[in-house]
Amino acid sequence: MKTEEQFHIEFLQQKAQSLGLSFADYMLFLIFENLEHAQVLNPENTTAGFEPEWAQAFREQNQSGQGM
């Protein structure tokens, strides 16, 4: 079974590839997205507590007992 960190990296690599981006470009995109939605920088933001897609997939994998 993969660790949460291993699962997260693989998930991000697959997501980047599916979007036609390099892993580095996708990481930059995510950094800027996080800054845009950061409640500290944008107090009116209502999406700060949203569970990321990779975390949902990791939780579902653990519940089903399957690997990615």
Contacts of 19 (CB under 8 A, 6+ apart): 26
Q: How far apart are CA 21 and CA 40, in angstroms?
A: 29
| pLDDT at residue 45 in the model | 65
pLDDT digit string, tens, across residues 1-58: 789 999 999 999 999 999 999 999 999 998 988 887 776 776 776 665 667 787 788 8
H, E, C per residue of the chain:
CCCHHHHHHHHHHHHHHHCCCCHHHHHHHHHHHHHHHCCCCCCCCCCCCCCCHHHHHHHHHHHHCCCC
| Domain layout of the chain by residue ranges | 4-64
In the predicted model, what is the mean pLDDT of residues 53-65? 82
